[in-house]
Amino acid sequence: MCVFCKIVKGELPAKVVYEDDRVMAFHDINPQAPVHVLVIPKEHIPTVNDLKEEHAELIGHIFLVIKKIAKELGIAESGYRVLVNCNSDGGQEIYHLHFHLLGGKPLGPMVCR
């Protein structure tokens, strides 16, 4: 089972900031900004490449959850970045779809290093 599925099942600890029947959000273990939250579907979807038409509503829901968390964590007005990595060139390390929510400081231009 993947790391994020273990978090969903409560088998690994996480600092959870949001949870409903389809989605979970928790603080990244190695934050790259003052606010760095990962928002994941509970369903194990490995990458963006694995999304199907049936996931369209779920992905829309995830963005509404991101909006809600950004407001609750106080970064909605100052601004934030939402990022998804896919496969090796995208720098994906965990193969369970996740949306990085980053903010709390000026993040500068889009990073490509």
With residue 46 as reference, give the H or E element that holds it: none
Is 98 catalytic? The answer is yes
5 binds Zn ion (CB under 5 A): yes
Find which of Zn ion, ligand AMP, none residue 28 binds, CB within 5 to 8 Å per kind.
ligand AMP
Window 10-49: contact mask with Zn ion (x via CB under 5 A): ----------------------------------x-----
CA dist 8 to 25, 36, 50, 105, Å? Answer: 10, 18, 19, 29
Question: Active-site positions?
Answer: 98
